[in-house]
Amino acid sequence: MKLYHLLMYILILSFSLSASAQTVLVLSGGGTRGFAHIGVIRALEEADIQPDLIIATSMGAIIGGLYAAGYSSHEILYILQNTDLRNEIRNIPQQQYIPIPQKHLSPTPIFTLQFGSDFRPQMPSSLLEAQVIYTKLSPFIAPKLQSASGNFDKLPIPIRVVASDLLTGESVVFSEGNLVKAIKASASVPLAFAPVPHEGTLLIDGGITDNLPILPEYIGDDDFVIASDATSPLFTAEDLNSPINIGLQVVGHTIEARKQKRRKRADLLIHAPAESQSHREAGDIFQYIDLTYRKTAEALKTDFPALGFAQDKDTTAKKSPVPIETIHVLGNTNTRDGFITRHSHIQKGDTLSPEGIEHSINTIYGTGLFSTVNVYAESDTLLIEVEEKKRLRLSFGSRVDNYYNAEFFLAPEIGNLWGVGTKIQAYIQYGKHREKYALNIMGSLPVATQVRNDYIFQSYLSAKDIIRHSERDTIVTDSDRHDTLSLVSYDETRISKLGFLFSGGLDFNNTIQCLGGVKFESATISRSTDIQIPALDNNFHTYFWGSLIAETLDKEPFSTTGSRHVFWLISGARNLNLPSSSLLFAGNHTRAFSFPNEHVVFIPSLEYLWVDQTPTITNSNYLGGSRHRRLHTPSDVNITLPLAGLEDNALSIDKALLLTFKKRLRLRDSDFYLSNYLDILSLWDAGTSRTPRELAEQKSLGIETELSLDTPVGPVRFSWATLLKNNLPEETKTIPSSLIRFSLGHSF
C-alpha cells in the first residue's frame, strides 16, 4: 500500500511539474529576413499552440510585439505590408498629414542641417530617425498596453524585449513600460537609426549583444523553447568585396559565437530558409513566409508530435476602454503644450483607439517640428512624447534641366518662434535663368481640432526670371577671308519683380484650404536685344486674390490615389487704377485611379485659364513648359499651362482649356516609372468667345512619353514629346517637330 501511495505521489508530482512547464517562443533579429517569424507564428496557430512567453529582439521584437498584443499572423503581415517604407524611412510625413502651405510653399530640400543654440552645426547620429516604428505600431499596441496597465505580463501573451546598452555593451531586457519605445530601441540598427535615450543611457539594436535571446533567467529547465533564427548567414570570400560587407562580417562573427551557445538550449530550432541568404535582399516576402511556415509545420508534425497539448492561454483581463481624463506632453522645451495637444485627435473624454492614435501621431509629426512623435496612455492619462528639432536650420536643394540648366536654393530659418510653429525664413534661389530672394514669415495656428489658421508674410525680389528664351543659328560670310562663320543668336526676355504680400485663411484637416490676400508689386522688363518695350518699365501693380485648394493625393510626385482641386481668382490693377483692373480665373482638377498593386495609375486632369482683358507682359500667362512644376503660389511670376511638344513659355495666352490623360506604369517593383500623356488644348483671345463645337474643331493635340526614376535627391526624368495637331497661332508654327526634356531633382 505504501508503494502504491509513493507511486501516486511521484505521478502527481510529475504531472504538476509538467503542467507548470512553459512554451517559450524566441524570435531573433535579421532585418527583412525576420519576416520568416510570421511563418513560424502561422504554423503555431494552426497547431493550436500559443506560447506562454515571447522573448524577442530587433525585427523579432517588431513582429513579437504585435503577436503579444493579440494580433494573428495574417494581421501582422497586413500591418507591416501596408507601410510606405520608402517615404517613412526617409522621415517624410505622409502627404495627407502635411499642412497645405507646407506642401506647396516650401520647396523640397536635399538635406537640412540643424544648429544648436551656440550656432554650431549638429551632425546627425544616424541616417534615419525610425519614426515609422511609432507611426505603424503605436496605433495597434498602445490600446492593448493601456488595458494591461503597462505590464507586459498582462498582455494576451507575455513578452520580453531585448535591447543593447551602447555605453556598457550589456543586454537590457524590458518587461514593463512603453512597449513600442522598447521595440524601437531593440530595432535601432547602429548608423541607420538613432540610439534611444533611456534612464541615462543610450539603447541600440538588441541583436548586437544577443541576436537569439534564449535567456536562462526567464526559461526553466522543463520549459519547451521554440527558437526562430532569421539571422543572415556569414558572407563567403567572393562577397567580401566592399568595406560594408567586411564590417558586417566582423560583427557577424561576434553575433555567431554567442548564438552557438544559445542554440543548444532550443528544443525546436527553425532556421530562415536558405532561399534568401543576402543581407540586402529578402526575395518575395510571401514566398519567404510560406517556406518558413511549411518548414515549421513539418517540424511540429514529425519531430515533435506531442506538442499538441498546448491551448489558447489568453487570460488578459477584459476591461472596458478607459476615457482620457488628462493629457500630458513630454519632451518639449520650445513648443507650447497647447499647440501640440490641439493637433491631437484624442481629447479629454475620448477613449484610446487605433484610428485616433494614428491620426494624432501623423498630424503632430506632419507639422515638421519634431524628429519623433509617440502617443500612448497610462490609465486615464494620454501621453504625447516628442523629440523636437533644432530651431535653427539651413535647407539646401538643387535641380538640373535642359531649360533652366543648374539651379540651387538655400533657406536658413529660425523655426518654432513663440512655441507655436511660426518661422522666419530667408530664401535664396540662384541659377543662370532665374534668381529669387525672399524673406518669409509663415505659420499655421490650430484654432480647433483639425482646423488651423494659415498666415504668410513675404517680401521678395525676383531679380531675374527669363520668361522667353530663343536661340537661332546664323551663317555669316566673311568676304575678305572667303569663308563662312556659324553664329548662334540669343534672344531673351527678362522680368524682375519686387513685391510684398500678405495672405491668411483656414486649413481644414490638411485637406481643404481657403486663402485670401493682397500683393503689391513693381516690375521691370528687359531684353538681351536692343528691342524697346514701350511704357512697360517700372510698372506698379496691386493684386487681390482668393484661392481654394482641396487635396487628398496620397504622395508626391508619384501619386497613386486621391485628387486635387485648385481654384484661383485674381484681380489686378496697374498703378492703383482700380477701374481698369483685370480679372483672372484659373483652376486645376486632378484625380488619380490606381489598379492592382498600384503598378498602373490613370490620372486625368483638367486645367483652365480665363482673363477678361489681354494682360501686359509683366503679368502675362504662358503656354508651354514642364508639367512637373510646383503648384502656383501668389509670388510666382505667372501662370503656366504645359503642352506636350511646346517649349517653355512659347506663347502668351488669355483663355485656355487643357485636358490631359496620363497613364503611368511602375516597372515591376522598381523605382522606375513609364508615363504616357495625351494633351488636348483649346485657346481663344480675351474679349472673344467660342462655342463648344468651335473649341473642339480648333483643338491642338500633343503626346509625351516619359521615363522617370525616383531617387533620394528627387526624380530623374527623360521625356520625348511632339505636337500631333497644331492649331496654335502663327508664332508657334516654327516649333521643332519633337521636344526632348531632361530634369533631375524636385521642382522649385
Determine which one of 58, 186, 462, 620 is catalytic.
58
Question: Do 620 and 513 fall into the same domain?
Answer: yes
Number of domains in the chain: 3
Give percent of the chain above pLDDT 70. 77
Top pLDDT among 467 and 392 is at 392
User: With bands split at pLDDT 50, 70 and 90, how would you rate the model's confidence at 575?
Assistant: low
135 lies in some domain: no
In this structure, the answer to whether residues 426 and 378 fall within a common structural domain is no
652 is known as an active-site residue: no
pLDDT tens-digit series, residues 422-436: 999 999 999 888 888
Average pLDDT, the chain: 82
Residue of higher predicted confidence among 505 and 130: 505
CATH number where 629 lies: 2.40.160.50
User: What is residue 649's predicted lDDT score, i.e. its pLDDT?
Assistant: 80
Q: What is the b/e burial string over 537-547, where b = at least 16 CB atoms within 10 angstroms of the residue's CB?
A: eebebbbebeb
- Cell numbers for 99: 499642412
Same domain for 420 and 361: no
Q: Under 8 Å CB-to-CB from 36, ≥6 apart: which residues?
A: 30, 228, 230, 270, 272, 273, 288, 289, 291, 292
Residue 537 has pLDDT above 60, yes or no: no
User: The CATH number of the domain where 28 resides is what?
Assistant: 3.40.1090.10
What is the distance between the alpha carbons of residues 223 and 206, in angstroms, rounded to a whole number?
23
Burial 197-218 (b: 16+ CB within 10 A, else e): ebeeebbbbbbbbbbbbbbeeb
Q: Measured between alpha carbons, how far is 225 from 212 in angstroms, rounded to an integer?
A: 12
Q: How far apart are CA 235 and CA 454, in angstroms?
A: 54
- Answer yes or no: is 710 within a domain: yes
Give the range among 486-490, 722-726, 736-740 with minimum mean pLDDT.
486-490
Q: How large is the average pLDDT for residues 148-156?
A: 93
State the amino acid at position 154 in one-letter form: K
| pLDDT tier, 522 (very low <50, low <70, confident <90, very high otherwise) | confident
Domain-embedded: residue 137: no
- For the segment 41-66, the average pLDDT, to the nearest whole number, is 94
In a domain, 97, yes or no: no
More confident residue, 4 or 148: 148
| Same-domain status, 277 and 348 | no
For the cut 80, the answer to whether the pLDDT of residue 697 exceeds it is no
Q: Do residues 408 and 484 both lie within one domain?
A: yes
Averaged pLDDT for residues 126-139: 85
- Does any domain span residue 699? yes
Is 435 found in the same domain as 340?
A: no
Residue 549 forms part of a structural domain: yes
Distances (CA, A) of 630 to 104, 197, 330, 454: 7, 39, 37, 19
Residue 671 appears among annotated catalytic residues: no
Which of 369, 388, 407 is at the close of a domain? 388
The CA distance from 94 to 366, in Å, is: 7
DSSP string, 512-567: EEEEEEEEEEEEEEEESSS---TT-TTEEEEEEEEEEEEE--SSSSS--SEEEEEE
Model confidence band, residue 726 (pLDDT cutoffs 50, 70, 90): confident
CATH code of the domain covering residue 342? 3.10.20.310
Which of 246 and 385 is assigned the larger pLDDT? 385
Output the pLDDT for position 486.
Answer: 47
The answer on 207 and 164 residing in a single domain is yes
Band (615; pLDDT cuts 50, 70, 90): low
Query: Count of residues for the chain?
Result: 748
Check whether residue 233 and residue 367 sit in a common domain: no
Query: Do 520 and 590 share a domain, yes or no?
Result: yes
Residue with cell 540662384: 430
**Grid coordinates standing for 303?**
519531430
Residue with cell 525610425: 130
Buried b (16+ CB within 10 A) or exposed e, 243-258: eeeeebeeebeebeee
Instruction: Decide if 6 is inside a domain.
Output: no
pLDDT digits (tens, 9 = 90+) for 170-222: 999 999 999 999 999 999 988 788 889 988 899 999 988 888 899 989 988 88
**Residue that is last in its domain, among 368, 388, 408:** 388
Same domain membership, residue 206 and residue 171: yes
Residues 346 and 477 in one domain: no
Looking at 614-733, list the stretches that DSSP marks H as alpha helix, in order from N- to C-terminal side. 692-697
- State whether 539 and 427 are in the same domain: yes
pLDDT of residue 305: 47
Q: What pLDDT score does 706 carry?
A: 97
Domain extent for 609: 392-744
**pLDDT band at residue 122 using 50, 70 and 90 as cut-offs:** confident
Phi first, then psi, for residue 178 (nearest 5°) are: -90, 105
From the candidates 28, 73, 164, 205, which is the catalytic residue?
205
Residue 342 lies in a domain: yes
Among 364, 388, 412, the domain boundary falls at 388
Q: What is the pLDDT of residues 221-242, one digit of tens each?
A: 888 999 998 887 766 676 666 6
